[in-house]
Structure 1
Amino acid sequence: MSNTSITAFTHGAEQAQQWVNELDDDLNWGDKARAYRLLRAVLHTMRDFLSIEEVADMSAQLPIVIRGVFFDGWDPSTSPVWKRKKQDFIAQVASDFKNDPLDNADVAVAAVFRLIDRHISQGEITQVRNSMQKSLRNLWPGVHTER
């Protein structure tokens, strides 16, 4: 059996690790497993808040492994969720940290939004942001709207 790897898988894994490392560094946590859990929680909540069309558009720009995380466990028949206010988003993310509560969920979510902002085209980011309520949109970098 050959020891050669499939380049797309190797590159995808490297990109996913880079995203987790960046998020961990941005939050100054020193806990990559926790940073991954946060990334996954925010991606899943975003996915559930977005229309099916927007989920498809956004996913096309995600690295292959991150895209797999994004879609893991998704039931499109339940999207988008009806409660889509900022507090609903934050509560959903925080629910993944029941045994390890986030000090400041707004700061944690904003860190993931900044990470996504660095890696996804501005056109797609604008579409995703515009699909969110203003209070949640305020967590995106460079966005200042009235609450």
Structure 2
Amino acid sequence: MAHTSAIGFAHAAEQAQQWVSELARDLGWSEQSAYRLLRSVLHTLRDWLSPAEMADLSAQLPTLIRGIYFEGWNPSAPESEHKKRDFVLSVRNSFGYDEAVDFDVAINAVFKLLDRHISHGEIVQVRNSMKKSLRHLWPAG
């Protein structure tokens, strides 16, 4: 049984590494920066979704990515206005300000990564739960 658990953990680590590597390649960034961005966008997205939609999305994330998604989650956190600007600022604040980063482009790259790995039906539900202004960062695929 321990062997199966070790194999499962190794597979989970490979999946997480694949996501980070893809994002780094898409943006031309280091893997460390890509990881920080993925984490920042996932946390902001998680905090902006309804509890039901948040749970539905999490069910489709690989195990270690799901752990990143829920890291530091506070279910009683107050809801924000849900404006595009606030979403981008939340990601930027979590990532760390970097004047060389176009956060609209960076967020869009994470959304494209999710498009490649999450079912189309779930992506449509997540997109439709967002304000129209924010959907422009996550174009329909």
Matched, 1:117 2:115: yes
TM score, norm. by length of structure 2 = 0.92
List aligned pairs for 1:43-122, cutoff 5 A: 43-78=42-77, 81-122=79-120
Secondary structure, aligned partner of 1:93: helix
What's the CA shift for 1:49? 0.2
Q: Deviations over 1:91-133 (max 9, x none)?
A: 0000123353452100000000000010000000001000101
Structure 2 partner of 1:23: 23
Secondary structure, aligned partner of 2:20: helix
2:92 & 2:42 partners in 1: Cα distance?
Answer: 13
Distance 1:6 1:141, change over 3 A: same
Say if 1:94 and 1:102, in contact at 8 Å, map to a contact too. no
Structure 2 partner of 1:133: 131
What's the CA shift for 1:69? 0.1
Which has the higher relative contact order, 1 or 2, with Cα contacts under 8 A spaced 6 or more apart?
A: 2
Instruction: Calculate the aligned-residue CA RMSD, in Å.
Output: 1.8
2:102 & 2:33 partners in 1: Cα distance?
Answer: 14
TM score, norm. by length of structure 1 = 0.88
Which has a greater percent of helix? 2
Say if 1:59 and 1:70, in contact at 8 Å, map to a contact too. yes
> In terms of mean alpha carbon deviation, does 16-25 or 2-11 score higher?
2-11
1:3 & 1:132 partners in 2: Cα distance?
Answer: 42
Say if 2:40 and 2:95, in contact at 8 Å, map to a contact too. no
1:23 & 1:141 partners in 2: Cα distance?
Answer: 17
Matched, 1:33 2:35: no
Distance 1:99 1:87, change over 3 A: closer
Structure 2 partner of 1:11: 11
Say if 1:117 and 1:141, in contact at 8 Å, map to a contact too. no
1:3 & 1:140 partners in 2: Cα distance?
Answer: 40
Distance 1:5 1:90, change over 3 A: same
Say if 1:21 and 1:32, in contact at 8 Å, map to a contact too. yes
- Alignment gaps of 5+ in structure 1: none
> In terms of mean alpha carbon deviation, does 48-57 or 93-102 score higher?
93-102
